[in-house]
Chain A
Amino acid sequence: MTTLEYPRPSLRQSLIHTAGILLFIVLVAWAWRGSDFTWSKLVSGLPRMVEFLGRVAHPDMKVASTVLQATGETVRIALLGTVLSILSSFFLGLLAATNLTPVWIHQPVRWLLCILRAIPMILLALVFVSTVGLGPLPGILAVTIHSTGMLGKFYAEAFENAHRGPMEALDSAGATWWQRIRFSVLPQVIPDLARDTLFRFELNFRDSLVLGLVGAGGIGFYIQLYIRSFQYNKVATLTLVVLLMVVLLEQVNGAVRARLR
């Protein structure tokens, strides 16, 4: 009886694999060498870190009302920014889905989304602070635009995952383009859209903390204020609230996602 030859990886395949692994190692080495990362610095910095933590360990509850108000503002920025970006992402996502629009529409829209994603949110915030002034508005605008870049792409991918069958079935029943979107695409992808949106809201909440640093409203503003005036116990209160909010959001997200199948 002859033994059958089993499939062996070709020379080309093994070369590509090896090259890929080597490239990765080279990249990490390059990043490490340029990073000025030394263990001695870490060790010598340790006491100062402990001291810092010690000062933070006594949160000052007198700032509670300020914290509440600032948290409210951060949540407001994240919420409005997310809601506005849902609207723009939905329409841009439809246009960017390869199965719904011709290539001369979806390709430019994809580029646009990519550009929106590429602009750092903090840069957008700086621009809007200098054009529309301090406060939550520049924060909301920055969050909206930056999230649209990501959500629009995620929505488009969700739309592309919708099965063709139901679309063709409704088309054959006489449905219009919008009816096909509403009754065959949307019902299929709603869980994906919800998951992506909740995740984006979580990101937006954390990102809008940072926006305060450039004067775009919210907790971030007070964090940098207290750090600069060395009031670390007030910073501690703010940090605790932020931690609490992030954990809470994660819980809510999980609960909502479990319900959506």
Chain B
Amino acid sequence: MSITTRQVVDGPTLRQQSPNGQTGCLPTEDNNPVIALRNIAVQYAGANSLVLNIDKLTIVRGEHVAIIGPSGAGKTTLLRLLNGYVQPRSGRVNILGKRMNLDSVRGYRDYWTRAVRRRVGFVFQNFGLVERATVFQNVLWGRLGYVNPLGSLVGWFSEKDKVAAMAAIAEVDLLPQTRQRVDTLSGGQQQRVGVARVLAQGAEIILADEPVSNLDPALADDVLDLLSSVSQRRHATLIMSLHQPPLARFYADRVIGLRAGCIVYDEQAARFDDAAIQAIYGREFNMDLSPVGLPTLPRQQHVASAPVQGTP
């Protein structure tokens, strides 16, 4: 991944040099899985079918994974499982080298200690920010997993926490807005605050649940660019669910397709094509004519192709 995505985005002709496309870049220095799932079954109370049914899923450190699939396929459930918000009914879960004991309720609850939770960051579709608070406050609160639980209640944060927050704000390019209230920012800027919070948190795994669904295509591109570049810089593992297949191909190394709770596709992004989309979504699709993924296509083509998607 020597070429930054920013360069690639600048013109459609550079598209073929997409870093994800050529190298299939699994990091070589550390092939220990940060996430290993076996025979996972997730069932919601009262439902008789499984929302998630995964035989095997292994993700290694530094991978950039896109999860795609139709609505209700279990993308969000999978991400929330990795974040401790969904408890699997059965199976083996190993995150960051720590095995979950599913034999008892205690085993699950004790698994998600502060020390584990703070290593896994989450970026939300709706940003998950306190809108009345400033950019600095929101990012600083990403450090809550480190600060003294009692001291923080009266507003005590260490110098290190504040420095880390400022570094994160600088990294997402929001320094001029540091003191501004979040509700005065644009959607794209708000999602950058969400990313900065995860950076301040020092997350080794960054989960992003449809991080750009609320943004226009240009902003979506900026945010995904940011997410993948900061993850790469910090050697963090990035797992994001996306609704637009072209974005998945462009911004991930690996694409996982979910359908009805099962993994039906798992390939390097370079090999992710229209046929794969048909297998996952169950209908024809042409990525080059797709109205999404705007920045990689000339504008006229984008406009002209708009009605195509409406045709079943």
Q: Give A contacts to B, CB under 8 Å.
A: 165-166, 168-176, 178-179, 182-184, 187-188, 190-191, 261
Contact = CB atoms under 8 A, between A and B. Distances in A.
B200 to A, nearest CB: 8
Interface of B: 83-85, 114-115, 117-118, 120-122, 124, 126-133, 137, 141-146, 149, 152-153, 194, 197-198, 201
Q: Dominant SS at the A interface? A: helix
B152 A179 contact: yes
B120 A172 contact: yes
A166 B118 contact: no
Contact of A173 (B130, B137, B142): B142
Contacts, number: 77
Nearest to A178: B153
B124 A169 contact: yes
Contacts of A168: 85, 122, 124, 128
A161 to B, nearest CB: 13
Contact of B129 (A166, A178, A261): A166
B124 A182 contact: no
Nearest to B198: A173
23 contacts: A165-B126, A165-B128, A165-B129, A166-B128, A166-B130, A168-B85, A168-B122, A168-B124, A169-B194, A172-B120, A173-B141, A173-B198, A173-B201, A174-B144, A174-B145, A175-B141, A175-B145, A178-B149, A179-B152, A183-B152, A184-B130, A187-B130, A187-B132
A109 B279 CA distance: 53
Sort A-B residue pairs by CB-CB distance and give the 5 closest, nearest first.
A174-B145, A174-B118, A165-B128, A169-B128, A175-B144
Nearest to A182: B153
Contacts of B83: 172
A103 to B, nearest CB: 15
A178 to B, nearest CB: 6
B145 to A, nearest CB: 2
A190 B149 CA distance: 21
A24 B142 CA distance: 53
Contacts of B132: 187-188, 190-191, 261
Given A178-B153, A182-B152, A188-B131, 12 more contacts: A165-B124, A165-B127, A165-B129, A168-B124, A170-B141, A170-B144, A172-B121, A173-B144, A173-B201, A174-B117, A175-B144, A182-B153
A170 B197 CA distance: 9
Contacts of B126: 165
Contacts of A178: 149, 153
A173 B127 contact: no
Nearest to B131: A188
B153 A174 contact: no
- Counting chain B CB atoms within 10 Å of each CB, the highest count among A166, A174, A179 belongs to A174
Contacts of B146: 174
